[in-house]
């Protein structure tokens, strides 16, 4: 079985979000099962710098651009300076989408379609690769990592992408008067999946369907949910170089050293109160407005709060203002720092994930593996990975009072050392590796390649 895995990002070559982590971890897990997987992605400067020795695998002229496909180990990288020789994956340094993203990722899909004949199945990820099944007749799986990101552009791009006008219709690429990459893939791909079973059900509803729920209900026979895994080597508290003190389920008392290291790092008081951590994009989707609104109440529980992330300027400002009002109790670090992210997972007592929707989520799995029980909203992949009262704490409503009540419930458990150890060890004992997901993907590929119905 030969599979072309098409993605716009892949850690550590290029990463803007969780898709980069999935693209790094799933292909090796599939190769361990005997599936031959090559990863195709754009040749951003960072990718070309890190790629190492590469040979030319193909040369194309597509969409008015001359480009080469470079080959290095399992990677296939599109070299096209006019479109990719710039820093950032989707946005410029000012945080604005590149105005030619339709071309940049249209070329990714077009090259994938040209290479598809060499493979049994093409696996496309999110909207940047979603035109591949429009350009190609090859058996294709489209994975939806976040339905809210759809790749919608002005219809004038249709001809520039070499697509016939008849595709700009309600049953193809047209979506509220715009050209939608994601809708094209949802219509044309042989199979669809998303990254947790609960999210697969949620996106068929008006609340979570982002306007595409009707189409997803029509294609429900082709839609499945496969829960993401995590990189259990990179995220292992017993062998994590970013921690002040490695530990495991049998030595949880060592976790205290990481808490103190985190407090010192962020200028928090060396307090015995529970420390609540958050790492992620500072956006409305992630419920960060709820965190900002609840900050004073969390400090008064009493608890400390450590936040790492970047995102919407208004939310960054609200969190910074909360930290200024509660020095030593609330700390906010704007930006992203891999070492600090690991230290928060290992040093916090409780991890916070109040997302309004969450296709899968990774941090709630990291935190359980690190003996840092999550407080999470009962949605999407959070429901599928957190057992309420056993490995973490769930809450239903996306509002401040529900969040505070859930954190208070977690703090109550934290003050009972025997019970807290049970919750920690139950989470640390769960298998969040990619093995189960890889088996499910391999089965999907087999169904697609043989033309067997699901």
- Kindly report which listed range (56-65, 85-94, 399-408, 421-430) carries the lowest average pLDDT score: 85-94
How far is the CA of 241 from the CAs of 212, 246, 346, in angstroms? Answer: 43, 8, 11
Residue 106: is its pLDDT beyond 70?
yes
Task: Say if residues 327 and 354 touch (Cβ distance below 8 Å).
Answer: no
State the pLDDT confidence band at 351, using cuts at 50, 70 and 90.
very high
Q: Do 261 and 343 contact (CB within 8 A), yes or no?
A: yes
Percent of the chain with pLDDT strictly greater than 90: 95
Average pLDDT, the chain: 96
Tokens for 149?
């990101």
Domains of the chain listed by start with CATH number: 2-229+435-450 (3.40.50.2000), 237-428 (3.40.50.2000)
- For 241, other C-beta atoms within 10 Å of its C-beta total 7
pLDDT per residue over 377-400, tens digit each? 999 999 999 999 999 999 999 999
Q: Which of 407, 404, 394 is nearest to 297 (CA)?
A: 404
For residue 321, give every residue at least 6 positions away whose Cβ sits within 8 Å of its Cβ, in sequence order, or none.
Answer: none
- Phi, psi angles (nearest 5°) of residue 344: -65, -45
Question: How confident is the model over 275-287, as pLDDT tens digits?
Answer: 999 999 999 999 9
Q: What are phi and psi of 164, to 5 degrees?
A: -70, 150
Side-chain-side CA neighbours of 56 within 13 Å: the count stands at 7
pLDDT at 3 over 70: yes
pLDDT value at position 452? 60
Q: Which helix (H) or strand (E) holds 423?
A: helix 417-428
Which own/partner pairs from 430-434 qualify as long-range (CB within 8 Å, at least 24 positions apart)? 430/365, 430/368, 430/369, 430/385, 430/391, 432/229, 432/230, 432/232, 432/365, 432/368, 432/369, 432/385, 433/29, 433/229, 433/230, 433/232, 434/25, 434/26, 434/28, 434/29, 434/228, 434/229, 434/230, 434/231
- Give CA 388 to chain center in angstroms: 22
What does residue 169 show for φ and ψ, rounded to 5 degrees?
-140, 165
pLDDT in tens, 413-440: 999 999 999 999 999 999 999 999 999 9
Ordered alpha helix ranges (H), 192-300: 197-202, 213-218, 255-265, 288-299
The SS3 call for residue 156 is coil
Asked if pLDDT for residue 144 goes beyond 70, the answer is yes
Mean pLDDT of 247-253: 98
Mean pLDDT of 53-62: 94
The pair of three-digit structure tokens given for residue 75, joined into one six-digit string: 């990677």
Give the pLDDT band (50/70/90) at residue 454: very low
Token pair 């956006």 in the structure block, residue = 283
- Cross-strand bridge partners of residue 193: 143, 224
What is the predicted pLDDT for the residue at 453? Answer: 45
- Position 443 pLDDT exceeds 80: yes
Using 50, 70 and 90 to split pLDDT, how confident is the model at 321? Answer: very high
Asked if residue 10 lies in contact with residue 425, where contact means CB atoms within 8 angstroms, the answer is no
DSSP 8-class letter at 364:
H
């Amino acid at each position: 079985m030969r599979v072309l895995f098409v993605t716009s990002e892949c850690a550590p070559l290029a990463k803007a979000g969780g898709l980069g982590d999935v693209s790094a971890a799933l292909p090796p897990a599939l190769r361990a099962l005997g599936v031959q997987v090559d990863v195709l992605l754009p040749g951003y400067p960072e990718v070309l710098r890190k790629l190492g020795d590469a040979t030319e695998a193909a040369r194309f002229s597509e969409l008015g651009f001359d480009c080469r496909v470079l080959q290095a180990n399992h990677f296939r990288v599109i070299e096209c300076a006019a479109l990719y020789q710039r820093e950032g994956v989707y946005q410029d340094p000012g945080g604005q989408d590149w105005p030619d993203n339709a071309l940049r990722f249209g070329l990714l899909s077009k090259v994938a379609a040209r290479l598809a004949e060499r493979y049994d199945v093409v696996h496309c990820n999110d909207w940047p690769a979603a035109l591949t099944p429009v350009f190609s007749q090859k058996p294709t799986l489209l994975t939806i990592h976040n339905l809210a990101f759809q790749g919608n552009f002005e219809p004038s791009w249709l001809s520039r992408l070499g697509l016939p006008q008849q595709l700009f219709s309600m049953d193809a690429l047209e979506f509220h008067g715009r050209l939608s990459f994601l809708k094209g893939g949802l219509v044309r791909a042989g199979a669809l999946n998303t990254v947790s079973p609960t999210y697969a059900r949620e996106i068929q509803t008006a609340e979570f369907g982002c306007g595409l729920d009707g189409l997803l209900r029509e294609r429900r026979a082709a839609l499945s949910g496969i829960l993401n895994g995590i990189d259990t080597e990179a995220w292992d508290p017993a062998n994590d170089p970013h921690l002040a003190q490695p530990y495991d389920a049998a030595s949880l008392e060592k976790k205290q050293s990481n808490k103190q290291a985190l407090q010192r790092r962020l200028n928090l008081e060396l307090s015995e109160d529970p420390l609540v951590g958050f790492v992620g994009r500072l956006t409305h989707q992630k419920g960060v407005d709820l965190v900002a609104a609840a900050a004073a109440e969390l400090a008064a529980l009493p608890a400390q709060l450590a936040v790492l992330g970047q995102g919407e300027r208004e939310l960054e400002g609200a969190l910074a203002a909360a930290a200024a009002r509660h020095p030593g109790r609330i700390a906010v670090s704007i930006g992203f720092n891999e070492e600090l992210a690991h230290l928060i997972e290992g040093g916090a007592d409780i991890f916070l994930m109040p997302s309004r929707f969450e296709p899968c989520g990774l941090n709630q799995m990291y935190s359980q593996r690190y003996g840092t029980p999550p407080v999470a909203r009962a949605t999407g992949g959070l429901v599928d990975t957190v057992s309420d009262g056993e490995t973490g704490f769930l809450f239903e409503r996306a509002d401040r009072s529900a969040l505070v009540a859930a954190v208070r419930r977690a703090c109550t458990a934290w003050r009972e050392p025997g019970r807290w150890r049970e919750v920690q060890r139950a989470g640390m004992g769960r298998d969040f590796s990619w093995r189960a997901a890889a088996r499910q993907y391999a089965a999907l590929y087999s169904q697609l390649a043989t033309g067997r119905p699901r």
